Structure 1
Amino acid sequence: MQRVKLIGAAFLLISSCWANAATQVQVVGLFPGAAVINVNGQRKMVKVGQTGPGGVVVLKADSKGAVLRVDGVERDYGLSREYSNGFVAPEKQQLSVAKGLGGHYWISGSVNGQSMPFLVDTGATSIALNDAQARRLGIDYRVEGRPLQISTASGNVRGWKVTLNSVKVGTIEVLGVEAVVLEGSSPAEALLGMSFLSRVGWRVEQDVLVLEAKH
């Protein structure tokens, strides 16, 4: 009888360990053809057909939901704003930027993990890059982007609408950010427009721009 009890206890211990090791997956962002997934606390934007953290594969994604393959099993996932059990939500992150040269706000940031200085432009509907900046970042905008005509002070120029995997300023990171790449050398400075700013909290207090991450 004692031997049976020991075997039963061992089985329960193994089952408990297996349950604790199970992959915890949540979808915290949805875009056409991509999803932002949180796997055991690691968050990343993954395009359809690609593999993310923990070997999770995104099979389908749109604004309504995503189909993921987790540990070899396919299932539907809806959008979740909750964190996994045992994962503590961090405090809101803030960044304060003093007014700089010409009365503008300049921020050192990064795009897809590569450094990029930005000029904050609340009048721009999206992040704007010139073609040289896009090439330096490795953005194949002619293949990945959607062509469009853009009106500027100098006339109409060709552009391409693209989606940046990640845009980060300070400790504030936003995934899946819309941007426009313009043909030529304009804008001379990368513009941090509303496609980023509308997804963070921002305000101006006594000539200081305050950005705050949304959770």
Structure 2
Amino acid sequence: MVRYVVFLAIFLCNGVLQAEPVVRVVGLFSDAAVVNIDGQRTLLKAGQEGPKGIRLVSADSRGAVLSINGRQQRMELARDYNQGGYSTPEKQRLVIARGRGGHYWINGSVNGNSMPFLLDTGASSVALNEAQARRLGIDFKTNGRPMQVTTASGVERGWQVSLRSVKVGAIEVLGVEAVVLEGSFPTDALLGMSFLNRIGWRQEQDALILEAKY
């Protein structure tokens, strides 16, 4: 009986020492991931070990493979792993790594049509050039409000329009104000503050974090 009690005590003690950490993958890149481990956020590259001895085995746009207490576990974006299994977070979150030129680029959609964006916190609204607007099927000259827009190259003619929806990742905002500029400027569609002000966003290390407010 005494041996049984001692064995049980050792078993329980070991169980406490080996308790699974709470892990959340909050950002996914090629061969890298932003991982939240017991509330501590860190950027891990493939093969790198982080807090609690957790190692990133591999990562892509669909998920990450982590080694947790010697066991490999594949995790999708923003799902928790602990002894109880998985749970979906309350808010949709997107982590964007700094890209070429120190800028943040992301593929999204406008009115259901794909559109690559350059995130620009200095732009007051989403901004498109004529060709981009036409490709998206936006009749800006008929439905838009003519306006003058001051840009780095001077004053340009533009049209203020309302986009039915703008979506990046799983974050979608309806009824977004945008400006269509005459000519080929901006070269890249700008995801400006008319979208960003409707969600939460912040910069951490070399990543920009977007989070739905609902």
TM normalised by structure 2 equals 0.58
User: Distance in 1 between the 2:152 and 2:207 partners?
Assistant: 28
Q: CA deviation at 1:202?
A: 0.3
State yes or no: 1:156 paired with 2:155: yes
Aligned twin of 1:193? 192
Aligned twin of 2:113? 114
Q: CA deviation at 1:91?
A: 2.3
> 1:4-34: CA deviations, max 9, x gaps?
xxxxxxxxxxxxxxxxxxxxxxxxxxxxxxx
Residue 142 of structure 1 aligns to a residue in which SS?
helix
Give the letter aligned to residue 157 of structure 1: E
Aligned twin of 1:97? 96
User: Distance in 2 between the 1:115 and 1:191 partners?
Assistant: 14
Q: CA deviation at 1:156?
A: 1.3
Q: Which runs of 5+ in 1 are unaligned?
A: 1-89
Residue 134 of structure 2 aligns to a residue in which SS?
helix
Aligned twin of 1:166? 165
Q: CA deviation at 1:103?
A: 0.1
Q: CA deviation at 1:153?
A: 2.1
Aligned twin of 1:58? none
User: Distance in 2 between the 1:151 and 1:206 partners?
Assistant: 32
Q: Give every structure 1 segment of 4 or more consecutive aligned residues whose post-TM-superposition deviation is greater than 3 Å.
A: none
User: Distance in 1 between the 2:127 and 2:134 partners?
Assistant: 13
Q: Where in structure 2 are the equivalents of 1:1-215 lying within 5 Å?
A: 91-215=90-214
Which protein has the larger Cα radius of gyration, Structure 1 or Structure 2?
A: 2
User: Distance in 1 between the 2:210 and 2:153 partners?
Assistant: 32
User: Distance in 2 between the 1:159 and 1:113 partners?
Assistant: 23
Give the letter aligned to residue 111 of structure 2: N
TM normalised by structure 1 equals 0.58
Residue 157 of structure 1 aligns to a residue in which SS?
strand
Q: CA deviation at 1:98?
A: 0.4
User: Distance in 1 between the 2:152 and 2:90 partners?
Assistant: 42
> 1:64-111: CA deviations, max 9, x gaps?
xxxxxxxxxxxxxxxxxxxxxxxxxx8210000000000000010000
> 1:140-192: CA deviations, max 9, x gaps?
00011000011122221100000000000000000000000000000000000
Give the letter aligned to residue 112 of structure 2: G
Give the letter aligned to residue 153 of structure 1: A
RMSD: 1.3
Percent identity at matched positions?
74
User: Distance in 2 between the 1:127 and 1:169 partners?
Assistant: 13
Q: Which runs of 5+ in 2 are unaligned?
A: 1-88
Residue 214 of structure 1 aligns to a residue in which SS?
coil
